[in-house]
Structure 1
Amino acid sequence: MSQRPAPSLLLLFLLMIPVCVSGVSSADWDVSYSPSHICALKDSSVIMNCTYTYPTGHQIRRVFWTKGAVKEDGEFIDLSEDPEYIQRLQYLGDKQQNCTIRLSHVTLKDSHEYYFRFTTNKYKWFGYPGVTLTVTDLQVESPERVTEGDSVRLTCKSSCTLTDRATFIWFRNSQPLTTGIIGNQLNLWTVSREDTGRYSCGVYGQSYISPAVQLNIRYRPEKPVISISPSGEIVSGDSVTLICSSDSNPPAEIRWFKGGTFVGSGRIFNISKISSDDSGEYKCKSINEHGEKYSAVTLNIMYHPKSVSVSISPSGEIMSGDSVTLICSSDSNPPAEISWFKGGTFVGSGRIFNISKISSDDSGEYKCKSRNKHGEKYSDAVTLKVMYPPRNVSVLINGSGEIVSGDSVTLICSSDSNPPALNFSWFKENESSAVGSGQSFSALQSGRFYCQAHNQHGSQRSDAVTVTVHHGAGRNVIVIAALSGGLFIIIIIIIFIIQKKRKNRRSIIHEYENDSPRTGRYAALDPKSRSSDVYNTLTTVHPRPADHQSGSIEYENLSVQSQHMGKIVG
């Protein structure tokens, strides 16, 4: 349907003037609107109350409402034929005097001036001026900046004053509010962060709700919370993420601290390949223009034992009989189980290993093993040196304890001590003064000798040993035995002596037969022609009977030869 623009005021005026008829005036023609101005809420239903009059004798042929637009033929457009109104417009009047209509679901586009038009069997009438309809929506007006603790007033505003008396309703996050409503205003006293939300308003009995407005209440940060990822056990070498969550408005700036040291910024703090050095207390600081708050959290990193070491108490010199404590220090998480070893032998467990009344048998290398579920490690070995005075002191005889006059025997003093004994004293029983010093001692006389070993921790004496010095013929054999070093040499010597004896026997007989009586047995042994040794040796020989004379000579000669051989060997 084509239409023309609305007619000019002059044209409208002319259209309203009826053709004059005898006995009829314009005062008999009228259209009345009540009210003439309507402010309606968007999406509501509007009733335009209307009455009209016309002279007696006229019959109504057609009634309709229009916005003033005309068709090509010059006739006004009937809204009931307009596609935008056909479903929403309802004529409530009659064809006599009531011209009321209802317009449903009004929109902002429906804001216009509307007119009633009627036609009789004789004339047409246009109800000018018409009724003005203004359709309005609702808008929530709120302060731009609200801080926690402020008092806030929200206003539900429309572009015109609603014709019908309105009862306003309010919503926060689509939930109705029941307090603080005065007229078209919502009053919030001493707002808190809980009042933050989206606020909208409406009119009771109407479906239309205003667009929501965010009430942004600014406040300082709440205490931040740190979450750790992964949330389970953290092992050395893992990658760990710390996340700081903080409730604040405006959003807070986040700073990270380890202890009191600044380590980073931003809501997320990453640590790649974490180590035990990263263990400790971490906190994030949440700060905005209204204040600041700190969190607290401990980062507990699991790792295998390291830095395992042993300390000894007392730390100085350890004496036999002391109580000694070995302490194993180990850096590990979780705490490690401690085992103790002496050499390769397990000797105990626990961080502290005590040895009461320590002895030299406890000397040696000790180490501890630190072990947890992530691994194990040994300490370096520490040497436990136990100091003690000499003990087990004894005398060793180098050779035999029997010697002959003029020779000596070597005595050696042996002892067990720590530190080793450096001072040795030698004593002869029943004598108060020392007869020698040093670890070895040469005994030249018979007696019972003992040694005494000394170090800085004390001394101890040995048991006594007996040294016997022989005088006489036995000396040669003893010296030979001592110097020969074995029975084999002694046998050879005896054979040599026997052979020599036989030879000498023949020589002695020969001398005896050729000598004069004056130069007999005793003359041959004249001391002037013999050595003093031989003479001394033979002074113990006694004369024999005549029938045994030759045998005595052999015995004496054997003694002489033995003595001479002893001299040679010696």
Structure 2
Amino acid sequence: MENPSASPHRGHVPWQGLLLAVSLLTVWIPSTMAEYTVVPVPPIAAEGMDVLLLLQNPPQNPILYNWFNGETSNANLRIITYRVLGSKVDPGPTYTDRHTIFPNGSLLIQNVIKNDTGNYTLGVTDEESYIPEYISVQLHVYQPQIINDSKPIEGKELVLTCEPDIPGMTYQWYKDGEEVQEIPDRLQLSSNNRTLTLLNVTRNDTGIYECEIRNSTTVIFRNSNTLNVSYGPDSPTISPSEENYCSGTDLTLFCEADSNPPAQYTWLINGKIWGSTQQLHIPSISTSDSGSYTCEVHNSNTGLNNTAVRNITVYGAVIQASSTAITEKDSLVLTCITAEPGLSIQWIFNSQSLQLTERMNLSSDNSILTIEPVMMEDEGEYQCEVFYLNCSSKSDPVRIAVRALDTENTHLLPGAIAGIVIGAFVALILLCILAYFLYCSKTRSHRRKQIHEVAYSSLNFHVLQPKQSTPASLSPGATDTVYSEVRKK
């Protein structure tokens, strides 16, 4: 708020200028023409101005001036005293550094405030009577301002009042430097132009409003007020405008609404709150992210809400298999399910484009793959890839296991097979060890039998030979010798 003055741009009135005015008035008004009087200069004061309480028609031979607060000469309320003899100044109990007394008895109050409003009394003593004469003057300090009766909100009524209300003054309104004229059904002015009514505030009413207070010749005050109209939020817009996306891509949506103050944003996905941000970002979307995306905007000043909805479709694919474990010679049906019919579809087998064989058949739109009969070579991972405009999306892989026809019920777990192999190996080792011991035992028994047969054969040979030069019979010692020789053999 600007400070008021006697010019359109209010400010301090230099006290030196006021002193010059005092001198001129003192010369212009002869002392014999009127009694002592005190007037405020300027006559209407606003906070921040300098005001001179001017003594008019001062005595020709003054000796003492005393200023008091109020309509009194109470010594406790004395502001300041000036003794003409010796030009001595004596501050009193209510003196402040904003008070200055001049030799002609006038009192200057600098940078006046609201609390300076009131009565002031001057005691004048001259050398003729030595009896002081008291003169009172009333000072009123105004606080110029433009008052709003309510917050400026679009669509509401607003009344601007120019303060202060000073009888005899005229008022004029300006907006952004241009004079305001009354407009039926839009702008109304009171009889003295002190109030300006905006019947239906719009955002275009935002701007700087000034109220000029003047008398017949001079601008006394010119107050200003910046009007900031709250409005909105208007219907929000969601960008980009694209509604179709491929799975695996990032989704970024931005919501914007014209509002003062700026709107508060909330995102909802399929009716559930996602977050309170102006921008929504979801990385690597999938088909489950399809749905309704709502941007809600709210203005706390106006209390208004607005919404915008964007229906998002995420194109992707899911494979549905008649069975994931199938027996050789049976048939297999794989279906590629998409968000929308009629899209271009390609089948992938073990990360390679599927090469069709005589046993494979595709539906007219490529969405259904039939294999009949299934062979062992058909075992592996199947995917379908969907194409939309400039992007594509692959389904998650589905693994198909094929069982051989003649081993349908003999399949063993790897652990069981390993156990059988280890058990057979251990049994084989034990059989080899047993066979070795049996072989060794049989061999020893056979050799022992041979030795006994040779020994008996030798004994019989000697017994049956005809008598020659040898004795007719062998002694026991000779028999042992023969047995020993046979064992050696």
**In terms of Rg, which structure is larger?**
1
Q: Work out which structure has the larger RCO, using CA pairs closer than 8 Å and 6 or more positions apart in sequence.
A: 2
TM-score, normalization: structure 1? 0.36
TM-score, normalization: structure 2? 0.41
- Which one has a larger percent strand, Structure 1 or Structure 2? 1
